[in-house]
């Protein structure tokens, strides 16, 4: 899947993968990097990811890493920054496990704040 299209559980899984978690230890219920500032914010600071508001519809936020010459867009600063971080570690394409790749559409409880049904984690 394209890194620029990752969101929700899929993006959080990819960030956890970048952080070195083995697949079996990635709990999408608790690793909400793309929605929780306490998690994503520390990565933004550590990785020196710049974010700015652009006002472009459906991609209001822009994130960049000068050290990696990378940039990404997203609906929130955390989404844009986490996409940028994933691109810096995993590239422009991410190979998601089947259960994560299909998780968003299969989980009606997922609302952008991580999975609440306990499936897929």
| Domain layout of the chain by residue ranges | 3-106
Answer whether 0.75 is exceeded by the pTM: yes
Residues 69-78 have pLDDT tens digits of: 899 999 999 9
Nearest in space to 4 (alpha carbons), one of 109, 74, 107: 74
pLDDT digits (tens, 9 = 90+) for 50-74: 999 988 776 689 999 988 889 999 9
Q: Are residues 73 and 62 in contact, defined by beta-carbon separation less than 8 angstroms?
A: yes
| CATH number, domain 3-106 | 3.30.2120
Query: Rounded distance, CA 58 to CA 82, Å?
Result: 16
């Amino acid at each position: 899947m394209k890194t620029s299209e990752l969101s929700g559980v899929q993006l959080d899984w990819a960030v956890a993968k970048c952080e070195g978690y083995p697949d079996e230890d990635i709990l999408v219920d608790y690793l909400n990097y793309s929605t929780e500032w306490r998690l994503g914010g520390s990565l933004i600071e550590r990785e020196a990811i710049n974010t700015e508001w652009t006002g472009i519809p459906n991609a209001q936020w822009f994130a960049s890493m000068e050290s990696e010459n990378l940039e990404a867009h997203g609906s929130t600063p955390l989404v844009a920054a986490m996409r940028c971080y994933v691109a810096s570690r995993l590239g422009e394409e991410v190979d998601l496990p089947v259960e994560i790749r299909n998780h968003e559409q299969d989980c009606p409880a997922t609302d952008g704040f991580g999975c609440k049904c306990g499936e897929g984690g």
